Structure 1
Amino acid sequence: MERIAIDMDGVLADVYAQFSDWHYKVTGIRKRPEDVYGLKEMEAFPDARKYVYTPGFFRNAPVIEGSREIMEALNDRYEVFIVSAAMEFPQSLPEKQQWLNEHFPFLTWQQIVFCGSKAIVKADIMIDDHFKNLDLFSGRTLLFDQPHNHLAPDGNHQRVFSWKEVGGFLL
């Protein structure tokens, strides 16, 4: 059975929507995805570092449309692991685990990997929104489109724009 490593933030959890919502609450300015194309989260949202250390930021992030249904189907066909480089924000660990338990209850605790670097990950397929993770991976890569990577060339990665598209490739 093939193994898939799937990122959480920006692939399952819509952290851009979360950053945008929190930015709007603080500044009254709503940033659209096209307003932040090519910018890292910390560049696009000046208070982003404060947000990620605020209780509830990770716990209440919206689910990316279509991810739950496709993930459940993938889980039936592949060996699925959620791999999140969560150690940068260690206070996020319980929130991320609670979020996954709520929105993806079919995943077991053994399928959740919180790490510092994804260079250690051994799988056949990786779905991620960051080149830094995909570039080090030796298997098949799917680049999940997000504002920070939207303008960048795909490189050696297959870009996907939705979970419906992921399902089309993998199911």
Structure 2
Amino acid sequence: MARIAIDMDGVMADTTQQYINWYAERYGVQVDKATLYGQPETSGFPHGKEVIRGFLYEPGFFRTKPVIKDSQEVIKALYDKHEVFIVSAAMEFPNSLPEKLEWLEEFYPFIGWQNIVFCGSKTIVQADYMIDDHVKNLQPFKGEALMFTAPHNVNITDFKRVNSWEEVGALLL
């Protein structure tokens, strides 16, 4: 049985699609996800990254993110076979902690509160695997780091990459 730490934003919850959805709703402009590949997170939108970063402070942003395809089924299978912890930075943005908890309760009701870790820095995380989309979380990790593909990290080659939950399942189940 392996201990697996799984990030939420960009791994379970589709943050990029949420930026696109909220931007379209507010500015009437539909941004193609493909145009965001290789750009820093929150960049690539016509009004600039300050507008997109502003969404992170708005009520509902974290609560209404779309679920990433196949994540529920694969995480449930991992949870049944391994020791799984959801590890998410939830201290920087005022609404993120309660909204992330509500989101998890709705979409991943099988994950008990004992297996949810909200933190500021993930440098304290000890596990066999960490699935995350950010270099800053994977670099200090002592176990096997798995980079979950997101538009902002497509050019990073320092970590073993997983492009989908189907790939995660093939690797860890």
TM over 0.5: yes
**Which amino acid letter does the alignment assign opposite residue 171 of structure 2?**
F
Report the equivalent of 1:159. 161
Mapped partners of 1:129, 1:76: distance in 2 = 23
C-alpha displacement of 1:25: 1.2
- Where in structure 1 do 4 or more consecutive aligned residues deviate above 4 Å? none
C-alpha displacement of 1:40: 2.4
**Which amino acid letter does the alignment assign opposite residue 72 of structure 2?**
R
Structural RMSD (CA): 1.1
Report the equivalent of 1:12. 12
* Percent of matched pairs sharing the same residue: 55
C-alpha displacement of 1:88: 1.1
**Which amino acid letter does the alignment assign opposite residue 133 of structure 1?**
N
Q: Is the 8 A contact 2:133 2:150 kept in 1?
A: yes
Structure 2: gaps of 5 or more residues: none
Mapped partners of 1:50, 1:67: distance in 2 = 27
State TM-score, norm by structure 2: 0.94
Deviation track 1:41-91 (CA, whole Å, cap 9, x = no partner) reads 232343122211111111010000000000000001111000001111132
Deviation track 1:89-142 (CA, whole Å, cap 9, x = no partner) reads 132111000000000000001111111110110101000000111111111111
Structure 1: gaps of 5 or more residues: none
State TM-score, norm by structure 1: 0.95
Q: Is the 8 A contact 1:10 1:146 kept in 2?
A: yes
Matched, 1:92 2:104: no
Q: How many residues align?
A: 169
Mapped partners of 2:168, 2:43: distance in 1 = 28
